[in-house]
Amino acid sequence: MLAIDSTGLYAAYQAKDARFDGRFFVGNSSTGIYCRPVCKARQSKKENCAFYATAAEAEQAGYRPCLLCRPELAPGSSIIDATATLAHRAARMLEENCSSGQSLDELAGRLGYTGRHLRRAFTSEYNVSPVRYLQTCRLLLAKNLLTDTKLPVLEVAMAAGFGSLRRFNDLFKKHYDLSPAALRKRVSEEKKHDSSITLAMGYRPPYRWKEILNFLAGRAISGVEAVKNDEYFRTVHLLNTGQNHVYGWVKVGHKPQKNALTVTASETLLPALSQVLAKVRRLFDLYCDPDAVYETLAPMNDIRPGLCVLGTRLPGSFNAFEMAVRAVLGQQITIKAAGTLAARLVDTYGTPIQTGIEGLTHVFPSPEDILALDGPIENHLGPLGITAARARAIHELAKALVQGKISFGLCARPETEIKKLLAIPGIGNWTAQYIAMRTMEWPDAFLETDAGVKKALEPYTPKELLEMAKAWRPWRSYATINLWNSL
């Protein structure tokens, strides 16, 4: 249980304070059920409540998830919340790969540690073993699919990472005292089984949806992304557990009344569903604690009222290589011009796919696609209007990613990766910081030479801006987004 004053946690539970959603879970000894602190069910008496840091810990204590508040929808914790500790990075990796079927030792290896060391660090931080945490991630993903879709139970079991239907049924019944089929009967018959899956993912309010959607719309790559009808669409190309290529599309919408985003994915993405959901969380910054960010950045409003707005999110990336290439193309030219070059690159070297959605026609070329081009890279990208220096930078970036010399994943150390990016000819400090900000969830990047940042804070010089921004650490990336939005 949480080693925090239970009186304070109970007060947050009584207030249904959304700022604490996902920070802890409440077990009710009289019902055997655990809830999110925002649950709308009748509240338990304090003496019947136990508080847990994670859903896995609550389930280990014998509690079943509430069917009303649905703990599987709770937002998680950001990397900065955990000061990037091994345990928290491992937790994110387990969530992202819960449907992959990978073993704990394989996941530990990706983090650069032995399985034994990971088990020790993880259990010390979360009071549950990583195996138990992974099992809870799979069960909650399955519960989400059973509740929000009409997928057959067998497909739910496979999509959630269970090796067999029998094992899934046994674990679900053991932990939730309810069979998957019994839970399915509670779902409205109005839900139809079609060629897509729609799930909800929670966030901590407020969430400035219009601002992040406008940001993505301005930088959308034609053929790969589209923003229309207040929703975001994109094509997807991923590798599943067996290293097989899966293709499809996703659509992301907003349900402000439920403090959640809706994620619709083509059924072709089922084999990599946990990856898809993790990438959407990263793109739309669903782990963010907006109050913690605003507490540090609020003094920006002393410079000019409205410069910092509570609930502003840091746009991440769905495809790190795509985002990094887009950043290289955008050096010293307008956002629109960079978008034109990216669209040409996609049209020439992207992989065509059928989505049935207007405007979604290709997936972005992979690093391997770029490296497979014969001869000097500038001979291929030059005719598209991409300068030789940028073409070579893109080629070197692709090579570094394929060879594992640069990492944009959860294991990345942003300061270290920024230095590696700067070592690539053609990539300057602005580009390296911007790539880290958006692909590595780096909250402390600052672009003091950026035209928009300088315009928002006229007449300060870049040197003065860098000094001023020290007070905004560790949230300077959020300060940058706020400055751009203020324009």
Catalytic residue IDs: 35, 450
Residue with tokens 């014969």: 374
In three-state form (DSSP H/G/I as H, E/B as E, the rest C), the secondary structure along 404-470 is CCCCCCCCCCHHHHHHHHHCCCCCCHHHHHHHHHHHCCCCCCCCCCCHHHHHHCCCCCHHHHHHHHH
- 365: phi > 0 → left, psi -120 to 50 → alpha, else beta; which? beta
Q: Contact 54/36 with Cβ under 8 angstroms?
A: no
Q: Contact 94/131 with Cβ under 8 angstroms?
A: no
Cβ within 8 Å of residue 296, ≥6 positions away: 471, 472, 473, 474, 475
Instruction: Let me know how many helices (H) and strands (E) the chain has, helices first.
Output: 23, 11
Rounded to 5 degrees, φ, ψ at 263 are -120, 115
Helix residue ranges per DSSP H, 127-272: 130-148, 153-159, 165-176, 180-185, 209-218
Q: How far is CA 286 from CA 209, 276, 290, in A?
A: 11, 14, 10
Q: How far is CA 182 from CA 67, 72, 153, 173, 371, in A?
A: 12, 18, 11, 10, 51
Strand runs (DSSP E) across 295-347, as ranges? none
Closest CA to 222 of 316, 339, 366, 350: 339
Distance CA 127, CA 53 (A): 9
Sign of torsion, CA 382 389 314 440? positive
Closest CA to 91 of 103, 102, 107, 106: 107
Q: Contact 198/150 with Cβ under 8 angstroms?
A: no
DSSP state of 360: B
Q: Which two tokens stand for residue 46?
A: 């304090």
Q: Which two tokens stand for residue 202?
A: 């929670």
Sign of torsion, CA 182 187 188 189? negative
